[in-house]
Amino acid sequence: MGFFPPGTPAIEVITPSNPAAGADLATVIGNNKRLEIVGVQYTLAADATITTRIPNIRFAMGGTNMTFWDASGLNASGTLILSWFAGLGETKNVSSIQRYNPLPPGILLTEAAPITTLIFNLQAGDQLSNVVIWAKQWIQPD
């Protein structure tokens, strides 16, 4: 059998709990699942500390972290809805508060694979929320 079991995948929408203020996202793929990531979105609200936060999304594949960065970052006291979508050719500023970033197609994750952020310059009062992960899901036979 290949990486994925035969059959048609289902669409999975994963909504992990919001991390505490000042903390990065850390969620793990459930047991017996294999996923192909379609997109990830979260809201980042920055506290008043003067520094530029550089958001990202990270996937662990085969023991290697693949990190995809936002193109511009977020300044103090700002809020930004950040999205990453497979196959999107370039970063798109949808509005002053929403930005789409590209992911390569074919990000394949197996059970227990972490999906995390490691936001550069994340401050104690910053809040990451409203996390949504869209994926194609195959259930791995026992």
**What pLDDT digit, counting tens, does each position of 60-105 carry?**
887 789 999 998 899 999 999 999 999 988 888 888 899 999 999 9
**Whole-angstrom distance, CA of residue 110 vs CA of residue 60:** 9
41, 82 contact by CB (below 8 A): yes
**pLDDT above 60 for 1:** no
Looking at residue 61, what is its pLDDT? Answer: 81
More confident residue, 31 or 103: 103
Whole-model pTM? 0.90
In percent, the amount of the chain with pLDDT more than 70 equals: 92
Q: Is 73 left (phi over 0), alpha (psi -120 to 50) or beta?
A: left
More confident residue, 71 or 131: 131
Looking at residue 63, what is its pLDDT? Answer: 79
Mean pLDDT of the chain: 90
Query: Is 18 strand, coil or helix?
Result: coil
Written as one string, the DSSP assignment of 84-134 is EEET--S-EEEETTEEEEEE-S--EEETT-EEE---BT--TT-EEEEEEEE
**Topology (CATH level 3) of domain 10-139:** Jelly Rolls (2.60.120)
Looking at residue 142, what is its pLDDT? Answer: 57
Query: Is 89 strand, coil or helix?
Result: coil
Return the closest-CA partner of residue 115 out of 18, 10, 8, 25. 25
Determine the average pLDDT of the residues in 40-50.
Answer: 97
Quickly state the pLDDT bin for 46 (edges 50, 70, 90). Answer: very high
Looking at residue 34, what is its pLDDT? Answer: 85
Determine the average pLDDT of the residues in 121-129.
Answer: 98
